[in-house]
Each structure stands twice: as C-alpha cells, then as structure tokens.
A and B are shown apart, each in its own frame.
Chain A
Amino acid sequence: MSVRVQPELRNQLIQFGIGDWNACYHCGTCTAMCPLSEEGFLFPRKKIRLMQMGLESEIESSVEPWLCYYCGDCTNSCPRDANPGELMMSLRRYLTSIYDWTGLSKKFYTSELWEIGSILLIAALVVIAFLVGLPAMGYSFTTELTSQGGVKINSFAPIHIIEAFDWAMAIVVGGLLISNILRMYYKIIWKHGHMKVTFWVHIREFWRLVFNFSVQPKFGKCDDKRYWFSHWLLMSGYTIMFIVVVVFLPWFQTEKIVPAWHLQRALGYYATFGLLFGLLVAIAGRMRRKDVKFYFSHVSDWLFLVMLTLTVITGILIHIFRIYGMPFATYIFYIIHMAVLVPMILIEVPFSKWSHLAYRPFAVYFQHLKRHSVPRKTKHSNVI
C-alpha cells in the first residue's frame, strides 16, 4: 500500500489547535507514561510522528485519538514541552472534521465566524418560529395565556408541535451522526484492504459499544479518577434529559405540577444535578488552568460549555417560574431555552465537540474489531 506524504497537512492541523508540532524528539516518554496506551494501539508519540510526516491517510485511519481521555500525564512529563495531550485533542477535532461529509465541521472548527454565526442564525430562527411561526399557525398569544392564572405551557408551546420538532431534529442529527460513523468505519476498518474482520466479530464485540458508552471504563483508567466521575455525571444527566425530552416529552412537559418525588421531577433533578456538577468542574478547571487537561481551551471547548450551561440555567428557571405560577417569565425563558438548546444540538452534536459522544464508544468498538482482524489472503501474497 502506498502512503502519501503531505508536509502541508500540519499547517492545516494548526488551525485545529496544534501548537508546536516540531518540538517532539521521539523519546517515547509520553507513550510509556500513558495508562491507556497498549500494544498495537500506541499513542501519543506515534500519532505525533504521523502528523510531523504528514501521513494523512494514516491519521484518518487511526482510532487512537479517540482512545485518549486527556489526563495530561504525557504533557506533564514531556521533556520537550511538545504538549502531546493537546496534540491528541487537536487530532480529535481534525478527525471530527474528516468524518463529517458535509464539510461544515471543518468550517466550524477553523472559523469562529462560521461557528458563532451559525449558532446565532439558528437561535434567531427559533425565536422567529415562536414569535411569528406559532401565531401564524393559529396558536396566538392571547391574554388567556397570561391572565387566568397558572402556566399553560402546553398551550403556549403546543406539545404535539414541539414533539414533532424534537423528533425531526433527532432524526436529522442522528442521520448525520450515523452517516459520519459509517465514514469513520470506512476509514478505520474498511479501507484497510489487507485486513479482514469477520461478521461474527462484529456481533461478538458489539457489547463494547454499549458498555463504553454507558460506563466509559477507559476514562476511569486515567490516574485521576475524579474527572471520570464528574464526566460520567454530566454524561448520564445529559443522556437522561435527552431521552426524556425527545422520547417522553408528553410525559415530561405537563401542565399539571406533579409532586417533587414523582419520577418526572426526580429524573429531571438528577439530570440537572449531574449536568451542573460536570459543568462546574469543567468551567472551574478551564478558568483556573491548573490541570493540563484544562490548560488549553479552543473556542469550540468554551462554546460548548457556555451553551450547555445556559441551557441548564434557563431550564432551571423555567422550572422555578412554572412552579411559582409566573406565566410570562416562563414563556420568555422557554423561548431562550429553545434558542440555546436547538443550535447547540444542531451544531455541536453532529459537527463539533459533542460528536465525541458517538465517536468515542465507536472507536473502542472499532479498536476491538481491528484487534480481531485477520490478514486477508490476496492473490499476490504468495509472491512475497
């Protein structure tokens, strides 16, 4: 198999946050330090080498960037200040843009204007939909929404329309993600013509996908277990919220205020706590810049945190205003909530930082597929 060397690749990678790509002198300290690096899947040094040489196809077929959970041990021990941890992070950003067939991901990662502009545009569309779209469909803002006491949330935001919109959004985002994962599969497994993965292996190893998505055992292997915990809280909170809002919206968004111990509220409270806790750790970490993990922040890192925080805070406010029967405030914050949430999901999940929720567990799955692959017999194999 021929390999194309593209020295200009690293200039492209600089836009994804790679700092001093030339500092590494290949002592291997980072790989040896890394608790996640294992035989056959060595990183970060090997990936730095690929990057320095500009081996684009090799980088594209790597699963290793997704196996790194950025504990920062490599950067702390690096004798050259080459910052392997952030190099791996940058490679993840780059790979996200490679898996994405629309090309939007690259635009979002390399241009702040594109990313922030699109977010603002979608937010504006959401606000217009609420202020202009819904009244045009006959759900007009009448005085009864605010005057007769109690919050009529389902009259303000008609549940069947919101639900339909939720499903539409989930299908679009899911479709994009699945197509990107198929591209990821193609680049990592399929393209390697000399290796063969049997169908049975695909089935046998499938449990790893579910397991790694829900528990993230690899993150737990990093030396500092606290981040695994806070990240897991965040992830579980987000997953619960996502399922509840998309699948069980009629059960979740009710006009009747259920008691605090009701599963509807209890789940919501847990999710809010998990999200807030995880966010607080991440934001405080990025502001204090004490841990290497949080020392370098790309625009996409901050945007994601800020938007998720805004979503959670507006969600909490909606809840409070609803319980205390303040209709007008509830409606206002419902619109703000949606204006943050919708662009966040549409931009971040398929194209930006949040896509790692799918790529990471799939990468572990693909890693095990690779591990159980067998050399394919080619007609030339006996020549060598």
Chain B
Amino acid sequence: MRSPDKTCVFFYNPPSSGYDPIDYAELSRYSMTFPNVSRIWQYHDFLWNEKNIKGKIEEYGIDHIVLAGILPGTVKTLFSKAMGIAGKDPSNVILASFNDYYTGTTFNMDRLKSVLACLISGLSYETVAIPDENPVNPATLVIGGGIAGIQASLEIAYSNNLVYLVEKTGTIGGKMATFDKTFPTLDCAACILTPKMVEVNQNPNIKLMTYCDVREVTGEPGNFTVKVLKKARKVNVQTCIGCGTCAEKCPAQAPSEFDAGTTMRKAIYIPFPQAVPNKYMIDADSCIYLKTGKCRACVKACPVPDCINLDEQDEEVTINVGNIIVASGFKPFDAKKMVQFGYGKYPNVLTSLEFERLLNASGPTGGDIHLRSQDKKGNWIFTTEAGKPEKIAIIHCVGSRDKNFNKYCSRVCCMYSLKFSHLVLEKLPGTEIYEFFIDMRSFGKGYEEFYERILEEDVSIIRGKTANVEERNGKLFLRGENILKGELLECTVDMVVLSIGLEAGEDTQNLSRILSIPTSEDGWFEEVHYNLDPTATSRGGIYLAGTCQGPKDIPDSVAQGSAAAARTIQSILKGKVRKDLLSIPLETIEKRISELTLTQQEENVL
C-alpha cells in the first residue's frame, strides 16, 4: 500500500480530443475517495510546463502521478522530466490512456473508474482485471470467405467442430480468386485456391452462408447469438443446376465485380466460373424486373421449376456460436483520389486489380495483353484493335506511404508490381517496362531473391515516383525524377499500371460497432498486442484473421487464419473461454485491489 496523501491524478482533458465527452467531474470525485490521492489537477488549472509542475510536486510532496485522459502520453515526458528535476523517481508517472478502453460507441464509466482505481493503487489494470470464464458453444462463426476465412474455417472443420462461414458476396474466394499469379513462387492463384474453396463446400462441418450479412451480435464470449441477414439471392441454391440458360436470356448488364469492372456480366450471374457455390444469383440493382416489374426472362428460360423466385425477400437467420473469427478483408485504394495519375480519365491507366485480370487467362482478353479503347457505346474495353502495349509503366505506392492518403505501407504492392513485370515479359517479350518506386520492400522469404531475378530481366527499375501522367498524341506521358542518377526522366508509354494500396474494408467500421471491437486510427481492427497476440481482440471469443487486421500478403493471411483457428479450437477443447474485460463490475475490481494490496503488504512484512 502506498503511503497516504502522496499520489496526484492529472486529468489530461484538452478542449477537443475527437472522442465522446467524458465526465471528468465524476472521475475526480471517485479518485478522491482513495486515501492516497492528495491532489486532482485538470488541464485548465495552470500553465503546464516543467517549472510549474516541479513547483507543484515539491509544494505537495508528490511521489506518484497518474496521467489519465485521452492520449495522456503526449504530456508524459513533461511530467517525467519535472519529477526528475524535483528529485523524485521519473518512472512513477503512470499513464491511464482512456482511448485504449474506447469501444467505438462510448466510454464505459465503470471501466474508466476500474482503470483509475488500479493505477492509483499502484497495480496494472491487466493484473487485476482477469475475467471469469464461460462455458463454450463449440460452433464458430467465421465472417468473410476470403483466403483467411477459408483457411480458418477448414482448420476448425478438420477438428470436427461446426463452422458457419458467412460471406457477403455470392461466392467465397475473396480477392485472391481474382489474382493471376502469387508472388514469389508464381503459382497460379486460382489453381491453389479453388481446391480449398471446393473443400469448404464439401466439408459437412462447414455451413456456408454466402450473400449474407452479420447484422447483430449479442450474448457473451462462449455463447454469442448472431443474427445473419440472408440477402435474397432469388435463385434456389439447392435446385439450381448452374446451366446458365437464364444468363443467356437476361437482357440487363452490369460491370463484373470479379473482373474489377473490365467486363460486363448479366443481372443474373455466377461471379466467376469456379465460384463456390457454383449457383446463379440475381443482382437486384441491375435486374429490370425488380426495377420496373416487367421482364422475367430468366424465369421463363430456367429449366428447373420454381428455381428462380424473383419475389424472394431478405430473411433473418439466428445462429448460436461460441467464438467468432473476423476475416472481413480489405478494400483497394480508390485510384481516382490521386488525380495526377489520371485514373478514370485515360483508358490505359489501370489499377493493379484491373491489370491482374488483364493478365489472367480467364480475364477479359483470355490472358492476352491489349490496350483499352473506347467502343461505340463509350465503354472502355480491351480490344485487339487497340494493339498491344510496347511500353508499360508501373507506379508503386499509389495511395500508400502518403500523408495525404494512407500513411502506412501496404506491404504487397512492391512484390506484385515486380510480379507484373515478370508476367508481362513472359507474355510479350521485348516490352519496355518502367517500375517507378520509392523504396523496394521485398521483405519476405524468397522475396529478395525474386527481386534480384526481376533485376536480371530486362526491366527498368527506377527510383523516383512519377508525379504526373498526361495524354500526349494518344500516348501517356510521364514526368519523374530518376533519383539515383539525378536526372529528369520523361517517358512516353502505352499503358500505366497504378500499384494501389490496401485500405480497411468498407464493412470494418460497421463490424466494429456490431462486435464492439476497436479499430486503430488507420481503420484496421485493433489486436490485443501487435507482437505477441495479433489474432485476439479486446473482447473474449472474437479473433482476427487476414487483412482486416492490417495489410498483409497471402502467406501471412493464411498463417493468421490458422492461428485464429488454433485459438478457437483451444477454447473449444478447454470448454471455456474468457469473458470480456468489460464484464467485470467495478465492485469486483475494488475487492481484488484490496486483496492484492493486502497480500503485497504481507509479503513485505515477511
């Protein structure tokens, strides 16, 4: 127990923090109930500089300072220095960062009080707040059917436990299904992914729920009740035979999501030929019948009776699970935001996802690289008439490592850009390729070797990011600086590929609210500990896998999928899962604090 009247609580509450307001008056009252708290300071009390703080420390003989508030670490150095100058131990300045305990909706006052109580008593919150454990429902919910979600589902299913795999689109496979090759091994992405997708479909332990959204999660770790919205697919998955007659007759078209908008698909469609489940679905936004009430061409064409039901409505399904794995993935950076590169303005400025489809044998051109030109209707299509590109520029770091957009590195762009160079040279030998990079980040196993291999191929790898893409005489003109040579670089190319970065998926904020798990300032889901516990979240029974936690490549996503599955299986085998930290009432915390301080005193006496 600390000597009385020697601790001071400083509430760091500057005028605007961007968070919901906190009742600091209530927290001050609560802090004063502790006998060892002698002073309460507020941000507005006096001018905070070393000299003043040192004066106050000496005046009141303060030994310990608890800095509480939103990001109180910003003033910690000031207080530590002042303590040092005053001849006290600078390490006795302890942080209570309330923003760590923000759940995305509001602050829980009892939780803030618990944190304060622990720190005022000289104990860390984590040692005091050990949650109880709940019995566990062996079923698991996996949100997201990309490679991370597929891997996690399979791992759990192999342990003979039930998995609900909820996917918002009509097929599993995620972004990886759209890729041509994987780096650095140059495996065909579809060839290694589709067997896993089929496995998911065939495993009796996996209940696949495609075209579904998680709407509500209630209950507590070990026993969550999840409401899932089954969006109306309008085609019966059980009876559809996937013959495609309906799509032949369908008059409505929309850009294909799978081909990154480079081709058109019908309003009734299969996302891609290897989709799982390989069943048709109707896109309500482009279906003529759903918009005007007239058409029904697909119903007339369908050979299976009652398979297509255009009047099917969304329905809500409730499932009970013990653990939840979030694998909701990323969204690609919107290249239109960087106007200087002219994406959306010039047809031959492509994003990496579009280029990935262009390279792919199942893509818009069957794997031949053509230029894009405008057809009669004004749509941009890849045609043989437009010719093949002779010069291609690949610009790295589009939207990443840029304080105007995303300040983090998206990790995968350097490697996939190098992969593009290789694939282009494989298909069109003699093509001049310029890679404009800032720093080459080939960070993984075999990645540096891959980079060296590309360096030996006939690719101009130029340090320096180009700033502008302009159209001149039907070609694309780039202006940049070759930094290592110190020269101005101007080149004319036929095609520009923008290596766009990764951003937190559009559902992340929504899921964060539904699941009550925090996101970081960049929008990714926040893990408990970046180094030592990257799969767990602050809520018990909810784990993260794949790019929803941060940008990562396929091997890392798969590894994290397995890791999250291991955590789930661990709790199923143990039969117990820890409750939320939020679930511990303030009284329990206070009781434990007094118990712990008593044992400490006894130890000291001994």
Query: What is the interface of chain A, defined by CB distance below 8 A to chain B?
Result: 25-33, 37-39, 42, 45-46, 77-81
With a CB–CB cut-off of 8 A, which chain A residues contact B467?
A: 28-33, 77
* CB of B466 closer than 8 Å to a CB of A: yes
Q: Which residue of A lies closest to B401 (CB)?
A: A79
Find A45's partner among B405, B483, B487 (CB 8 Å cutoff). B483
Measured between beta carbons, the chain A residues less than 8 angstroms from B488 are 31, 37-39, 42
Measured between beta carbons, the chain A residues less than 8 angstroms from B463 are 26, 28
Complex Cα spacing A328 to B439, Å: 70
**Is the Cβ of A81 less than 8 Å from the Cβ of B403?**
yes
Select which of B340, B405, B465, B479 is within 8 A of A27 by beta carbon.
B465
- Separation in Å of the A40 CB from the closest CB of chain B? 8
* Bound complex: CA A194 to CA B401 (Å): 41
A23 → B minimal CB distance (Å): 9
Name the A residues within 8 Å of B403 (CB-CB). Answer: 78-81
Contact B486 A46 (CB under 8 A): yes
Q: Are A32 and B402 in contact (CB under 8 A)?
A: no
Contact of B295 with A by CB under 8 A: no
Q: Does B464 contact A (CB under 8 A)?
A: yes
Say if the beta carbon of B50 comes within 8 Å of chain A: no
Is the Cβ of A32 less than 8 Å from the Cβ of B468?
yes
Chain A residue with the shortest CB-CB distance to B464: A28
In this assembly, does B504 line the interface, its C-beta being within 8 Å of a C-beta of chain A? no
Which B residues touch A33, using CB under 8 A?
340, 467-468
Task: Contact check, A25 vs B466: say whether CB atoms are below 8 A apart.
Answer: no
Task: Return the chain A residue nearest B466 by Cβ.
Answer: A32
Instruction: List 7 contacting pairs A-B, 8 Å CB cutoff, sorted by A.
Output: A27-B483, A32-B468, A33-B467, A39-B488, A42-B488, A79-B401, A79-B404
CA gap between A46 and B464 in the complex, in Å: 12
Please tell me if B438 contacts chain A, counting CB pairs below 8 Å: yes
Question: Which residues from chain B contact A78 at a C-beta distance below 8 Å?
Answer: 403
Contact: B480 with A28, CB < 8 Å?
Answer: yes
A104 CA / B207 CA spacing, docked (Å) = 81
- Which residues on A sit within 8 Å (CB–CB) of B482? 28
Give B residues with C-beta under 8 Å from A: 340, 397, 401-405, 438-439, 463-468, 479-483, 486-488
Partner of B481, one of A25, A28, A77, A79: A28
Q: How many angstroms from the CA of A354 to the CA of B405 in the assembled complex?
A: 38
B335 to chain A, nearest CB (A): 15
Chain B proximity of A228: nearest CB distance (Å): 21
Q: How far is the CB of B115 from chain A (nearest CB, A)?
A: 34
- Across-interface contacts of A32 in B (CB, < 8 A): 464-468, 479-481
Question: How near does chain B come to A179, taking the closest CB pair, in angstroms?
Answer: 33
User: What residues on B are CB-neighbors of A81 within 8 Å?
Assistant: 403
Q: Tell me, rounded to whole Å, the shortest Cβ–Cβ distance linking B287 to chain A.
A: 43
* Residue of A with least CB distance to B487: A39
B468/A27 in contact, CB under 8 A: no
Contact of B402 among A30, A37, A39, A79 (CB under 8 A): A79
Contacting pair B483 A28 (CB below 8 A):
yes
Task: Provide the residues of chain A in CB contact with B486, threshold 8 Å.
Answer: 42, 46
Complex Cα distance, B486 from A31, in Å, reads 11
The distance in angstroms between the C-alpha atoms of A275 and B488, with both chains bound, is 38
Contacts A25-B439, A31-B488 known; list 13 others, CB within 8 Å: A26-B463, A27-B483, A28-B467, A29-B467, A31-B464, A31-B480, A32-B479, A32-B480, A39-B488, A77-B340, A79-B397, A79-B402, A79-B404
Distance to closest chain A CB from B67 (angstroms):
27
A77 to B480, CA, bound (A): 13
Residues from chain A with a CB closer than 8 A to the CB of B438 are 25-27
Report A-chain residues with C-beta under 8 Å of the C-beta of B480.
Answer: 28, 31-32
Question: What are the residues of chain A within 8 A of B483 when measuring CB–CB?
Answer: 26-28, 45
Q: What CA separation (Å) do A77 and B464 show in the bound complex?
A: 14
**Would you give the shortest CB distance from A39 to chain B, in whole angstroms?**
5
Contacts of B340 in A (CB 8 A): 33, 77
CA distance A42 to B438 in the complex (A): 18
Nearest neighbor of B481 in chain A, beta-carbon distance? A28
Q: Which residue of B lies closest to A38 (CB)?
A: B488
> What's the least CB distance linking A37 to chain B, in Å?
7
A29 to B482, CA, bound (A): 11
Q: Which 5 A-B pairs have the closest CB atoms?
A: A32-B467, A28-B481, A79-B402, A28-B464, A31-B481
Please indicate the chain B residues that have their CB under 8 angstroms from the CB of A77 in the complex.
340, 404, 467
Contact B465–A28 (Cβ < 8 Å): yes
CA distance A39 to B487 in the complex (A): 7
Residue of B nearest to A34 (CB): B467
Most buried by B among A26, A29, A45, A77: A29
Report the minimum CB–CB distance from B407 to chain A (whole Å): 8
| Whole-angstrom CA separation of A243 from B481 in the bound complex | 43
CA distance A78 to B439 in the complex (A): 16
Write the nearest CB–CB distance from B175 to chain A, whole angstroms: 25
Can you name the residue of chain A whose Cβ is closest to the Cβ of B438? A27
Give the residues in chain A near B404, CB-CB below 8 Å: 77, 79
Chain B residue numbers with a CB within 8 Å of A26 are 438, 463, 483
CA distance A27 to B401 in the complex (A): 10
Task: Give the shortest distance, in Å, between B498 (CB) and chain A (any CB).
Answer: 14
Chain B residues, CB < 8 A from A37: 488
The CA-CA distance from A78 to B464 in the complex, in Å, is: 13
Nearest A-chain residue to B437, judged by Cβ: A27
Bound Cα distance A26, B486 (Å):
11
Q: Which residue of A lies closest to B403 (CB)?
A: A81
